[in-house]
Structure 1
């Protein structure tokens, strides 16, 4: 069963980053995989089950992405080898940070997305973040749940509030609870508006002679 707002369409019509396969260079760097001459597989999972994978061949200042894709409803798999350049910037406390150079626009980015035939940045594919497509009350509910999680309270704004976590400063607790309560008010107001709009639509159908048997 869904929570408040279930069944409503999110705002905006663009695909989101969650609809694509993200390749985050920060994760590859932390895992020590970007060593020239190294070849490895990277896998995406949903609920711990693999749903896609890609082979990455690391070279000097670039990688080669080796994968297959299908176009639309085409049952034919097409093999692709896509080179992607890398850039490096110095970190404040030593070391360097790796970046992808987007093959489409040459923008320096941390994440490329497999959304079509080739990997590119979210700007080139015009991908929105899922949070950008949320209704205001859905976003407020999610923020309230995040605060509840931080405070160790039961999940869900319909549940009773808890106490101040041990070791948390009162000023921090009061700030978080004030934000939480404001988000709850926005979420409940949005839910009430949604229910009222459903009621009006149902009344309109009942009053329309064309809707009678």
Structure 2
């Protein structure tokens, strides 16, 4: 999960962003040939090579059926199965572009991406911002560093220190990525320190 320097927005008064939610993208499903009616497939989310969540999808004419289990906090698991209707619009150069119609009650917005909470809904229903809308300069550097950490298989969070070279990775690649990572970390920590000093605290209080 998140935490200071983990890539999620830890700072005071921050709201969730689209990066904080699992998502499904109808354009990706169209590109992968998954929207043809009368088929079924699974969709998974992974972290560091391990599956952390999955859903089942059944396609019908003009809609898909999402089936999965979820829970909030320590509540019991709850089964969900409901339709998400599709809409299609003509492209300027021919063909058609698919859209989800947000299944949240009273919404129905035409969107390309839905975000998973209790149900999959559009970012407007969850009041999500794009990361760039809420991101400070040091947040952006921390996020870039975390992307490199993910490539290297290191524990998320720039305060967790560096890990080892992944097996099979060339040393030149490892050294290049490590140098980029360390540069992003230095900039991010400097920004955090400046922010905390303005609030009467020091970066050492969080390490």
TM-score higher than 0.5 here?
yes
Q: 3-state DSSP class of the match of 2:133?
A: helix
Shift of 1:38: 0.6
Q: 2 CA distance for matches of 1:78 and 1:137?
A: 38
Shift of 1:81: 1.0
Q: 2 CA distance for matches of 1:80 and 1:94?
A: 36
The RMSD of aligned alpha carbons is 3.4
Long gaps (5+) in structure 1? 147-151, 160-183, 203-213
Shift of 1:78: 1.7
Q: 2 CA distance for matches of 1:192 and 1:13?
A: 18
Seen in structure 2, the aligned counterparts of structure 1 residues 142 and 69 have a Cα distance that, compared at 3 Å, is closer
Q: How does 1:136-175 map to 2 (within 5 A)?
A: 136-139=137-140, 155-156=180-181, 158=183
Q: 2 CA distance for matches of 1:6 and 1:17?
A: 18
Q: What's the TM-score once normalised by structure 1's chain length?
A: 0.64
Aligned pairs, how many? 165
Whichever of the two has the greater Rg, that structure is 1
Partners of 1:11 and 1:134 within 8 A in 2? no
Seen in structure 2, the aligned counterparts of structure 1 residues 50 and 158 have a Cα distance that, compared at 3 Å, is closer
Q: 3-state DSSP class of the match of 2:180?
A: coil
Are 1:90 and 2:90 counterparts? yes
Long gaps (5+) in structure 2? 148-175, 203-207
Q: 2 CA distance for matches of 1:112 and 1:93?
A: 26
Shift of 1:11: 5.6
